[in-house]
A and B are shown apart, each in its own frame.
Chain A
Amino acid sequence: MSEAILAAEVPGTDTTVPGTSGARQFWRRLRTQRAALVAAAVVALLVLVALAAPLLTALEGQDPTTYHPSLIDSARGGVPIGTLGGISGEHWLGVEPQTGRDLFARLVYGARVSLGVALAATVIQVALGVTVGVAAALGNRWVDQILSRVTEIIVALPLMIMALALLAIVPPGFPRPVLVSLVIGLVAWGGIAKITRAHALGLKNLDYVSAARLSGWSGFHIARRELLPGLAAPVITYAALAAPVNIAIEAALSFLGVGIKPPTPSWGQMLSSADVWYQAAPQYLLLPSGALFVTVLALTLLGDGVRTALDPRAASRLRVGTGRRAERAADRADGASGDRTAASGARTGASGDREEAGA
């Protein structure tokens, strides 16, 4: 949200992102979407669990890597002994077949990997994509041509295959979560670059940007002070929707054995060894897949809510026939700033649509 804060400092940029009152309005619009609120709560809980993983496992008295051969039935393929995969006071979610490692500990430590990698990869994507997109919009014809073609190549590259190739050639000593974040970030920034460029091109021709250019400001200065605040809405929206995709990519890479390396637990890796156990030890498969499902769904719903809250047209649609007249009336009373946002938002939205159609 640093862009939004920036927007508040710079007068005249409130045509796209409203100032302080706009942030308040954003929250108000987000609040009207119950699904997004529940999703936000779930995401907050997941983040908390991930941060507190060492505490939680200490509370349980387990750790994610210790083998417990006595808890599995070696003669029967290593299936956990006991009901529901060996659930007990000591092992809250049972143990892993063939190793006896504690599943609760592996699951909560896996949350760190999933969320951490997704966050880092999203940050890299946003940083790269915004830089390239703004540079293309502000640069001369050649810079734009070259950067746009590079972006198109990146968009056209099959993401999984690129990631597999990159991950396979890096020496095993490189810290794996960092590497996976880098790889996902480096191969999946094309979409955000295209959207940024399209929005920036629209903003570039507005009077206040022309004024800045005429007063001799440098390209960097224009980008930072005049364009970035205006790009906040589409970029935040895109990032919010990219995060759950990144989680799924990390899981897929780990599932294929090129992502996070053992013994660091990750949900994708757990799924990979659990898929054959769906009949003999169903909880082993259900835990990581359920965790992934909930996380991706919550992040997607939250992202969708953010998009709706930032898109004035969608926001105004929200108010139709929802039966919350009082609230809506209150919002309307909020005044002119809202209408202004709607107008400029429509412009931004239109260029975004064009971009999507082109992609």
Chain B
Amino acid sequence: MRQPSLTTRRVAAATVGLVVAAGAAACGPKDSDAKASGGDAAPHRGGTLTVLNANPQSDFDPARLYTSGGGNVPSLVFRTLTTRNRANGAAGAKVVPDLATDTGRPSKDATVWTYTLKKGLKFEDGTPITSADIKYGIERSFAPELSGGAPYLRDWLTGAADYQGPYKDKKGLSAIGTPDARTLVFHLNKPEGEFPYLATQTQFAPVPKAKDDGTKYEEHPVSSGPYKVVSNQNDGERIILARNPHWSAATDTQRKAYPDRIDVRSGLDSSVINQRLSASQGADAASVTTDTNLGPAELARVTGDKNLASRVGTGHFGYTDYIAFNPKVKPFDNPKVREAIAYAVDRSSVVNAAGGSALAEPATTFLPDQKSFGHTPYDPFPAGTSGDPAKAKALLARAGYKNGLTVTLTHSNSKDFETSPEIATAIQDALKKAGITVRLQGLESNDYSDTTQSVKSEPGFFLAHWGADWPSGGPFLAPIFDGRQIVKDGANFNSAQLNDPSVNDEIDAINKLTDLKAAAARWGALDKKIGEQALTVPLFHPVYKRLYGKDIRNVVISDWTGVLDISQVAVK
């Protein structure tokens, strides 16, 4: 939904996390699985954990952060009504209570959601956290000067569309009721069974009105989590966190908070980060990264070294890289042409271009390969691992292109192994075998997102990717295929400009479900139905491999974020 840019979204997702798994004793050490930490005894409390990141943690204000599940570093400071389950793998894709006693009690049609706060919750200065603080935190996020968060609250809360925030509009949002200090009632303008997922975002963190100084609040936001901000330099380039004495583990089953201090250093080159983590010298031994993956060449080097290979965390974030078509551009208006391309694509060469089988898994479904999304395996255009050029040729002949055709594939020049020239060249090579000549048009990365996300300039055939705001089918399918989410002037992600009433109605119907399992099954079925139209060609789901320092213990990587969760990490 009108998210800023996918890159931002990915970063946001990458910065997610900190929770501790409820059954944390189980998430454990010593295990050939790279996800496990390799520690022996109970995790050690104390020490300083360093986070080496490429992207600064800018605008460190709960109103302004765009996160999936509350973010990684942000979640150390901001507790929210609900949060993600801090557990390895699929269990980590569940939403669990945080400040609230449960994940929310919906009304029958899922338009009213009620939450009760736990007892004994305190800010870093010892004052109690009340429902009014949470309401105020949400209201702030509507202020134009504190923009940056996801658009869901404005879209979902009754009468919120034109709300300008508490500075201009003292009356506040009538859609959020606070009948007493521990109760919150949210009134939505339509059924939203996935509201508990939304309540994991930092906008649901409490903000004490007395301490709010507008845009300056980000320099020292008042903590509700296990750490408070000691200093924040250069808008998040370096953030130092220390223990918040008023946080109590008794009210927080998710965050483990083993280290005493956390030093977040950003603005580093990704190759420098990986070099420092592999050398693991001095303070770098107790370092992790939350936003820098191992690239193909780095992986080749790391896997050749046993010591390094044991310090790689593997994660899966709900994410799909795909070919997008704009059926308004010829010849992609012809479904046979799109299907021919779907048959011709050689997923093994695309996977190799993306970094090989360790960094990418071939995809035939648009939904990520995870249960929480409702993933239903399907492959309407079975091309095997290396494509079916004969079948593609036959389809093209039927479409009237007996002698082949020439098309232009738009890609970006960024070195991301997603929309970059390597992937485009692999597709070009595979399509050549089916008689399709592909010309490549490379654009600079900013230009690329502007061009492909504008209805006016959108090319017919380009590389795209999508990551979810939370691990469910809704935020994955709706922005891409819901006809009412075509944005005429602004960032549009419905590349196919699909506006099919039956798809729109099904999206509405699923949003009414509060049983997330039942909803997941229907998202999967919807994905399959849309997939048969060949509006996209799913290529692969990326796999995240990240190094961590040699003194790092208790590594937990959930399928929600795909990244190691800082709130679980212990330093030897």
On A, residues with C-beta under 8 Å from B are 65, 67, 69, 72-79, 97-99, 168, 172-173, 256-258, 261-263, 273, 276-281
Contact = CB atoms under 8 A, between A and B. Distances in A.
Given A256-B413, A276-B298, A280-B297, A77 B429 contact: no
B424 interface: yes
B300 A79 contact: yes
Given A69-B348, A261-B442, 13 more contacts: A69-B386, A72-B356, A75-B357, A77-B296, A77-B298, A77-B358, A168-B447, A172-B439, A257-B413, A263-B429, A276-B295, A280-B298, A280-B304
A97 B300 CA distance: 10
Contact of A257 (B349, B352, B442): B442
Interface in B287-321: 295-301, 303-304
A277 B426 CA distance: 19
Contacts of A258: 413, 442
A209 B415 CA distance: 58
Contacts of B521: none
Contacts, number: 110
Given A97-B296, A168-B447, A263-B428, A77 B355 contact: yes
A179 to B, nearest CB: 13
A77 B413 contact: no
A262 B349 CA distance: 15
Contacts of A256: 413
B441 A172 contact: yes
Contact of A262 (B301, B346, B421): B421
A78 B356 contact: yes
Contacts of A273: 421-422
A67 B349 contact: yes
Nearest to A174: B439
User: Which among B352, B424, B441 has the highest number of chain A CB atoms within 10 Å?
Assistant: B352
A278 B440 CA distance: 27
11 contacts: A69-B349, A72-B356, A76-B358, A77-B355, A78-B352, A78-B355, A97-B297, A98-B356, A257-B413, A261-B442, A278-B297
Contacts of A277: 297, 300
Interface string B419-454: 001101110110000000001111110010000000
Interface string B66-95: 000000000000000000000000000000
Given A78-B355, A262-B440, A67 B301 contact: no
B271 interface: yes
A296 to B, nearest CB: 24
A97 B295 CA distance: 12
A77 B298 CA distance: 8
A283 to B, nearest CB: 13
A172 B440 contact: yes
A156 to B, nearest CB: 24
A258 B448 CA distance: 13
A30 to B, nearest CB: 42
A61 B356 CA distance: 26
Nearest to B360: A74
Nearest to B386: A69
B65 interface: no
A72 B413 CA distance: 24
Nearest to B444: A168
A145 B355 CA distance: 57
Contacts of B444: 168
A65 B429 contact: yes
Given A172-B441, A262-B421, A280 B356 contact: no
B499 interface: no
A97 B358 CA distance: 15
A129 B300 CA distance: 49
A75 B314 CA distance: 13
Contact of A74 (B304, B352, B422, B441): B352
B437 to A, nearest CB: 11
A69 B424 CA distance: 16
A106 to B, nearest CB: 12
Q: Which 7 A-B pairs have the closest CB atoms?
A: A257-B413, A77-B296, A280-B300, A79-B300, A77-B299, A172-B441, A77-B300
Given A97-B297, A263-B429, A281-B297, A69 B442 contact: no
Contact of B421 (A67, A75, A79, A257): A257
A279 B297 CA distance: 8
Interface in B446-503: 447
Contacts of B222: none
Given A69-B349, A257-B413, A98 B296 contact: yes
Contacts of A257: 413, 421, 442
A261 to B, nearest CB: 5
Contacts of A276: 271, 295-298, 415
B440 A76 contact: no
Contact of B426 (A67, A74, A75): A67
A187 to B, nearest CB: 18
Given A99-B353, A273-B422, A76 B439 contact: no
Nearest to B412: A257
Contacts of B386: 69
Nearest to A285: B297
Contact of B351 (A67, A73, A74, A76): A74
B8 interface: no
B408 interface: yes
B486 to A, nearest CB: 26
Contacts of A76: 299-300, 303-304, 356, 358
Contacts of B408: 172-173
Contacts of B422: 98-99, 273
Nearest to B359: A77
Contacts of A75: 303, 356-358
Contact of B424 (A97, A98, A262): A262
Contacts of B351: 74
B297 A77 contact: yes
Contacts of A280: 297-298, 300-301, 304
B334 to A, nearest CB: 20
Nearest to A65: B429
A65 B438 CA distance: 14
B86 to A, nearest CB: 29
A285 to B, nearest CB: 10
User: Which among A65, A173, A257, A258 has the highest number of chain B CB atoms within 10 Å?
Assistant: A257
A279 B308 CA distance: 15
